[in-house]
């Protein structure tokens, strides 16, 4: 791979220049997977991907997840695999305060990992920057492999063998904005995943936590919530966090199995933020 790789954080993350994601191949897939195993978050600089090219690149790693329609939302594009990460409505104006799409987007400000609320949870996510605000709107990441490594041995023993329930509606309720319909609840039910898991490729253990977690199965509610809050506070300490400052042409790829991320604030009624996400999930192989 004729590319230059530079570390972004002492614990994880790398910037990659000199690579064109429009030229898809098995060799490119293997190179990206090797970088992901090592760094968990990589930034491909100076990409020139339209939505179709992004979907084609994503398919190297699995069948892309289809973006669900938010109540009242009108899609701006034609590709159902594209998650529209924007503050613009379909008419090109800023989303209004009471727009369900804006209310749903508020959940992105919580620490989370994509699609952990699905039984076939998120593997890699790919976020392509088209227009970014002049300030703010960073995306923060934490590597939960490094977090797990830093936990005391007694805590690691306490966490082994436990399962958590993840729900998109639990996290959306935390910000008090978006209220799902009964049909939305039916088609997007909770999922259960181990609290600690070993990540294929790196063979490292990681915490699998997120704002989507409602409780540890089989634990008393108060004890469960207290431990989860303690783990989230520990995992998001400054020494574990990389804040990505976006520039147009950045594609950031992260491994949802061993990272969390969140959006940060900006003047979303003044500046445009236009990014496009695709995600592949575990157990959903690429179509050949």
- 107, 141, 266 from 110: Cα distances, Å: 6, 11, 15
Choose the CATH number for 4-281 among 3.10.105.10, 3.60.130.10, 3.30.70.20, 3.40.640.10. Answer: 3.60.130.10
Question: What are the tokens at 212?
Answer: 């989507």
Instruction: Count CB atoms within 10 A of the CB of residue 178.
Output: 21
User: Residue 23's pLDDT is what?
Assistant: 94
**Distance between CA atoms of 260 and 116, rounded to whole angstroms?**
11
User: Residue 287's pLDDT is what?
Assistant: 36
Taking Cα atoms as reference points, which of 39, 49, 43 lies closest to residue 16? 43
Q: What is the DSSP letter of 287?
A: P
SS3 212: coil
R_g of the chain computed on alpha carbons: 18
Looking only at the bridges linking them, the beta strands covering 274-281 and 83-86 are: antiparallel
Domain locations in the chain as residue ranges: 4-281
* DSSP element (H, E) containing 279: strand 274-281
The residue length of the chain stands at: 288
Q: What is the pLDDT along the chain (288 residues), one digit of tens a residue?
A: 578 999 999 999 999 999 999 999 999 999 999 999 999 999 999 999 999 999 999 999 999 999 987 665 566 777 999 999 999 998 899 999 888 888 888 889 999 999 999 999 999 999 999 999 999 999 999 999 999 999 999 999 999 999 999 999 999 888 767 888 899 999 999 999 999 999 999 999 999 999 999 999 999 999 999 999 999 999 999 999 999 999 999 999 999 999 999 999 999 999 999 999 999 999 755 433
């Amino acid at each position: 791979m004729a590319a230059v790789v530079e570390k972004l954080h002492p614990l994880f993350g790398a910037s990659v220049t000199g690579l064109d994601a429009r030229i898809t191949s098995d060799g490119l897939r293997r190179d990206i997977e090797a970088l992901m195993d090592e760094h968990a978050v990589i930034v491909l600089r100076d990409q020139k991907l339209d939505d179709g090219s992004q979907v084609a690149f994503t398919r190297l790693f699995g069948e892309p997840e289809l973006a669900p329609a938010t109540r009242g939302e009108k899609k701006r594009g034609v590709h159902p695999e594209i998650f529209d990460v924007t503050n613009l409505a379909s008419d090109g104006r800023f989303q209004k305060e009471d727009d369900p799409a804006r209310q749903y987007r508020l959940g992105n400000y919580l620490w989370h990992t994509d699609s952990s609320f699905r039984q076939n949870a998120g593997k890699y996510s790919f976020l392509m920057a088209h227009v970014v605000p002049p300030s703010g709107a960073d995306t923060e990441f934490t590597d939960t492999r490094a977090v797990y490594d830093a936990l005391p041995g007694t805590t690691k023993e306490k966490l082994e063998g436990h399962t958590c329930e993840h729900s998109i509606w639990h996290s959306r309720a935390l910000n008090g904005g978006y209220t799902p319909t009964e049909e939305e609840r039916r088609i997007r039910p909770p999922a259960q995943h181990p609290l600690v898991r070993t990540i294929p490729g790196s063979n490292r253990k990681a915490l699998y936590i997120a704002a989507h977690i409602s409780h540890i199965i089989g634990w008393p509610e108060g004890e469960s919530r207290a431990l989860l809050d303690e783990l989230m506070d520990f995992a998001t300490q400054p020494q574990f966090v990389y804040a990505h400052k976006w520039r147009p042409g950045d594609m950031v790829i992260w491994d949802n199995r061993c990272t969390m991320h969140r959006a940060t604030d900006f003047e979303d009624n003044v500046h445009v933020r236009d990014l496009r996400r695709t995600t592949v999930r575990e157990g959903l192989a690429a179509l050949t």
